[in-house]
């Protein structure tokens, strides 16, 4: 008698695991983003540039990201660094950055953690980074 490669129990266990993996993806609710998030750690993801922002520089520059219902603002050294609109797409924040001259640049922030006090997101590409932020009241 030839035994099947996958038994019924293994098949059912696989289906349960697959179901958990697909249903456990991070789903962002816009309301959970609203407010000011102070950067506490920035890690460079670039192979060419492995220099991370030091805690001292973060303290001195006081960077943060602020979400409102319709807009996103990034501040660095008490200066508006970037702004635009955003929309939620699963675990991504699709940022539509408004550049000088009215030009638009679009890219995602990939969120790996979001709760009442913590936000961790990353960008990709040559200048990609991973940001850890805490919510301020």
Q: What own/partner pairs with CB < 8 Å and gap ≥ 24 does 92-96 have?
A: 93/28, 93/33, 93/121
Both tokens assigned to 80: 């508006």
pLDDT in tens, 6-36: 555 544 544 454 444 444 556 798 899 999 9
Residues 6 or more apart whose CB falls under 8 angstroms from that of 4 comprise none
Are 122 and 131 in contact by the 8 Å Cβ rule? The answer is yes
Predicted pLDDT of residue 15 = 42
Predicted pLDDT of residue 128 = 87
Strand partners, 38: 64, 134
**How does residue 72 score in pLDDT terms, banded at 50, 70 and 90?**
very high
In this model, does residue 62 exceed pLDDT 80?
yes
**How does residue 49 score in pLDDT terms, banded at 50, 70 and 90?**
low
What average pLDDT does range 85-98 have in this prediction?
A: 96
Both tokens assigned to 100: 């000088």
Both tokens assigned to 30: 């816009």
State pTM to two decimals: 0.77
pLDDT in tens, 98-114: 999 999 999 999 999 99
**What is the overall mean pLDDT for the chain?**
84
Predicted pLDDT of residue 131 = 96
Query: Distance of CA 4 to CAs 1, 9, 13, 18, Å?
Result: 10, 12, 16, 21
Correct CATH for 28-136 of 3.40.50.720, 2.40.128.540, 2.40.30.260, 3.40.50.300: 2.40.128.540
């Amino acid at each position: 008698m030839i035994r099947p490669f996958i038994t019924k129990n293994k098949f059912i266990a696989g289906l349960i695991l697959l179901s958990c993996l697909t249903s456990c993806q991070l789903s962002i609710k816009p309301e959970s983003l609203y407010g000011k998030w102070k950067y506490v750690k920035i890690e460079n993801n670039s192979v060419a540039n492995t220099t991370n922002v030091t805690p001292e520089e973060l303290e001195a520059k006081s960077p943060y990201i602020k979400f409102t219902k319709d807009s996103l603002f990034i501040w660095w050294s008490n200066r508006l660094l970037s702004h635009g609109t955003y929309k939620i797409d699963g675990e991504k924040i699709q940022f539509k950055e408004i550049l000088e001259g009215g030009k638009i640049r679009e890219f995602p922030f990939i969120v790996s953690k979001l709760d009442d006090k913590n936000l961790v997101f990353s960008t990709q590409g040559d200048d990609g980074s991973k940001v850890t932020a805490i919510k301020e009241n």
